Structure 1
């Protein structure tokens, strides 16, 4: 009754929908996009999801929004660090290992006197 007396109409659900960062259709498209990336073995990180959402919304979104989004869609989105091989690949991806690799590469280039014009991707 007090809400009606103040002239406030509409349900709380409608008010909540208006405050959402993404509309339900936009969230569904984001879920679909994440699923497509995951199927191609390119699962996005939380930071990537945050960046996608910020682009869609037109303003930055918080890390806690990403947490709530993933929780809302936990049945549709699965964690991709679940297989043994993925965990091994993730563990192998470290800055120290890259540093050692490039130091060894540099020493071999010097040792064998490889000229820059003879290097390529």
Structure 2
């Protein structure tokens, strides 16, 4: 368990109303006081959680889209940017921008070489 999570667990284990100082707890566990305070008050989420929530598609869905594009290319029907955008919109059930398509292609350019 990361030190920040241990520090939060320690604070949560204190009796209700028991006083503590973020600075002392942070020093005990060797973590940043500001980060501890924000995470404990749920103002800031862990970066892993935050990053995964920002993706339009899950890694599995993105891999499936790459597989589908490869299959079309194999059949000599390489999809256009607008086709990729339409496929993605159906998968994610929301419209995406043209810049999303560019970022998707750049993220997967080694897999999409035709």
Paired position in structure 1 for 2:71:
36
- Give unmatched runs, 5+ long, in structure 2: 1-35
Structure 1 outlier segments of 4+, above 6 Å: none
Provide TM-score, normalisation by structure 1.
0.60
Q: What are the residue-to-residue correspondences of 1:1-121 with 2, within 5 Å?
A: 1-8=36-43, 10-78=45-113
Provide TM-score, normalisation by structure 2.
0.63
Instruction: Give the superposed CA RMSD.
Output: 1.6
- Give the Cα–Cα distance (whole angstroms) in 1 for the partners of residues 63 and 77 of structure 2: 19
Q: Which of the two has higher C-alpha Rg? A: 1
> How many positions carry a matched residue from both structures?
79
- Give unmatched runs, 5+ long, in structure 1: 81-121
